[in-house]
């Protein structure tokens, strides 16, 4: 694309945003992985968010389920 086409497309997008009644931004599980963000449910993303659970060898599946709430509700609620 030439610079003028890029500028025209950008100007058109700006106009649409200014005229819009609202803006909805959506994302879903795994959408950021392609851009290099860690997957939360993957071991690496999970461990970064919860290093204490990593130290205790607790996997995502061990804490994100109803059994965890029955066994240790305080810890399960703390996770969520």
Residue 66 lies in a domain: yes
Residue 57 lies in a domain: yes
**Model confidence, pTM:** 0.45
In terms of DSSP H, where are the helices of the chain? Answer: 3-19, 43-49, 51-55, 60-63, 66-71, 73-79
Range of the domain at 72: 33-80
Q: Per-residue confidence at 9, pLDDT binned at 50, 70, 90?
A: very high
For the record, the structure tokens of 43 come out as 């071991």
* Residues 20-73 pLDDT 10s: 999 888 766 666 777 776 676 666 677 777 888 889 988 888 988 999 999 999
What is the total count of domains within the chain? Answer: 1
Residue 79 lies in a domain: yes
Residue 38 lies in a domain: yes
Question: Contact at 8 Å (CB) between 20 and 26?
Answer: no
Q: How far is CA 70 from CA 3, 57, 79, 80, in A?
A: 60, 19, 14, 14
């Amino acid at each position: 694309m030439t610079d003028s086409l890029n500028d025209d497309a950008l100007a058109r997008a700006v106009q649409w945003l200014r005229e819009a009644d609202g803006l909805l931004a959506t994302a879903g599980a795994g959408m950021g992985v392609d851009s290099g963000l860690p997957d939360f449910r993957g071991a690496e993303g999970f461990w970064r968010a919860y290093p204490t659970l990593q130290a205790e060898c607790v996997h995502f599946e061990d804490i994100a389920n109803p059994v965890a709430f029955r066994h240790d509700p305080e810890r399960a609620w703390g996770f969520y």
